[in-house]
Amino acid sequence: ELRTPLANLIGSTQVALSRQRSAGDFEEVLQANLEDLERLRSIVNDMLFLARADRGEVATGLVLTPVAQEVRKTIDFFEFVLDESRAQVGIAGDVRAEARLESALFRRAMSNLLQNAIEHSPPGAQITVTLREEPGATWIAVSNPGAAIDEAHLQHLFDRFYRVDAARNDGGGEHHGHGLGLAIVKAVASMHGGQVSASSEEGWNTFGFSVSRSPEKTAG
């Protein structure tokens, strides 16, 4: 993941310096380099976040929050992307569920799940966010229509840099992630005393995570 953008940066810079070029040519190279630098920064930031989670960092500043409210805020953030893909997102299940959340972390996990669902759905898809209350925990699951994912892959999809692009690239669009989105969902769940889950059946793929409703469980 790091080698590819680094190789692009080195190669494009070497080519640009190989002969005299116009200001416009250099501007084009710098614009392409900037995209790769942004990608590198994103990867490094995500790796640092996962490293903190590995060291046992937990969610702080937990506030009892209506979960559907945070989900709606995240969906609103995706308004442009949803319009572009003609996809729609609905909320179902225990819509009155509440949980103790650190909102910024929760929205980060939700954003990754929604991005994942949109990227791997056909245009115009109906995506569903289902809330489910269980003893001591609230589950948030995002379901989207798509090609079936083999059972052998499901257990690994929350691992870092694990991809099944050939099996999951059914939306027809370019995949913009770098293999850490679902790993971050798992980290956020762990920081809230929760777990993750994945299933693929009857034409629907579902990825979810839980957050503990007991504050002492997130403290270690």
Tens of pLDDT, residue by residue over 88-142, are 999 999 999 999 999 999 999 999 999 999 999 999 999 999 999 998 899 999 9
Q: What is the pLDDT tens value at each position of the chain, 220 positions in all?
A: 788 888 989 999 999 899 899 999 899 999 999 988 988 888 888 888 888 888 888 888 889 999 999 999 999 999 999 999 999 999 999 999 999 999 999 999 999 999 999 999 999 999 999 999 998 899 999 999 998 898 888 888 998 877 665 444 444 333 345 678 899 999 999 999 999 999 999 899 999 999 987 654 444 4
Say what the pTM is: 0.78
C-alpha span between 102 and 141 (Å, rounded): 18
CB 192 within 8 A of CB 105: yes
